[in-house]
């Protein structure tokens, strides 16, 4: 329950308000599963949940991509290499990369939602032979808001990964697709009867993406989403993160649509 002070190794700016921190793990046997998060503590300011956005096979550092939207996140992104940051975790459930073995994999990200999904991309690419066709579909607000843009270019260069990127608003230089991320689904071929999808982004984007994927043949148990609610403790104590009967901090944030079973999408639940 106590935050462990860990050393900040590096701070990289990704977008105007988004930074990636690399942090020295709090213990030798540190590891995490794709989809998990930590509670990051800025001394005296506060603690927030941040998804781990790094490679699960690399236990030498904890990679966390943070969007500066409040007092705590502002303080965290202002840290310098060598500074101390409080870490608790990892907490939460994982994306079903094991269950996806032998199947087509669809990774659908919206905006900053690419950060919690990046570990899945790493995981799948690290063990590429275990999967069939793998597609990354990514939608962002505009070209200037594309997260991990240079890495996406690298991934595009691979022959074993299909990368489709779209923006809501183009700019003069943008020659790629313009439109919502759901429009990318029709452009990829996948086996709707067996494929598995991992979706992360704003809730409304996830709702419509799921509808589009269901039209493509995917069933509840093969659709994974990452739900978000107010989190203060990470361990099921403070009660804020409840979504129906689930404590998202420990029963989530990654859940299948089968678990959500309709009631979790009800207005203001």
Count of positions on this chain that bind other proteins (CB under 8 A): 66
Q: Least CB distance from residue 110 to other proteins, whole Å?
A: 7
User: Which is nearest to 268 in space by CA: 236, 243, 240, 239?
Assistant: 243
| 195 in contact with other proteins (CB under 8 A) | no
Q: Which of 57, 102, 144, 202 binds other proteins (CB under 8 A)?
A: 202
171: phi then psi, degrees, rounded to nearest 5: -130, -175
Q: Least CB distance from residue 36 to other proteins, whole Å?
A: 18
| 186 in contact with other proteins (CB under 8 A) | yes
Q: Which of 111, 116, 119, 253 binds other proteins (CB under 8 A)?
A: 111
| 216 in contact with other proteins (CB under 8 A) | no
Q: Where are the alpha helices (DSSP H) in the chain?
A: 71-77, 114-126, 149-156, 203-215, 248-251, 257-260
| 61 in contact with other proteins (CB under 8 A) | no
Distance CA 256, CA 224 (A): 4
36: phi then psi, degrees, rounded to nearest 5: -80, 165
Distance CA 152, CA 163 (A): 8
Q: Which of 7, 30, 59, 132 binds other proteins (CB under 8 A)?
A: 7
Distance CA 5, CA 263 (A): 39
Q: Which is nearer to other proteins, 99 or 261 (CB)?
A: 261
Q: Which of 44, 129, 157, 159 binds other proteins (CB under 8 A)?
A: 44
| 47 in contact with other proteins (CB under 8 A) | yes
């Amino acid at each position: 329950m106590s935050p462990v002070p860990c050393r900040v190794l590096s701070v990289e700016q990704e977008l105007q308000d988004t930074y990636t921190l690399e942090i020295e793990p709090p213990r030798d046997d540190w590891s995490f599963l794709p989809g998990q998060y930590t509670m990051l503590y800025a001394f005296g300011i506060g603690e927030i949940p941040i998804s781990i956005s790094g490679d699960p096979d690399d236990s030498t550092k904890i990679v966390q991509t943070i969007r500066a939207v409040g007092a705590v996140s502002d303080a965290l992104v202002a840290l310098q290499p060598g500074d101390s940051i409080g870490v608790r975790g990892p907490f939460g459930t994982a994306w079903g990369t094991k269950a996806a073995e032998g199947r087509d994999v669809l990774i659908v990200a919206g905006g900053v939602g690419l950060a919690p999904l990046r570990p899945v991309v790493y995981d799948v690419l690290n063990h590429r032979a275990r999967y069939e066709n793998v597609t990354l579909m990514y939608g962002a607000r505009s070209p200037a808001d594309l997260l991990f843009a240079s890495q996406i270019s690298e991934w595009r260069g691979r022959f074993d990964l299909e990368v489709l990127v779209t923006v809501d608003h183009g700019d003069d230089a943008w020659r790629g697709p313009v439109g919502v991320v759901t429009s990318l689904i029709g452009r990829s071929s996948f086996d709707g009867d067996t494929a598995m999808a991992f979706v992360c982004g704003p809730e409304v984007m996830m709702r419509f993406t799921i509808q589009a994927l269901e039209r493509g043949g995917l069933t509840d148990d093969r659709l994974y989403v990452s739900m978000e609610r107010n989190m203060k403790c990470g361990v099921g104590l403070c009660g804020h993160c409840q979504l129906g009967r689930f404590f998202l901090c420990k029963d989530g944030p990654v859940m299948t649509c089968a678990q959500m079973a309709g009631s979790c999408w009800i207005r203001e639940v």
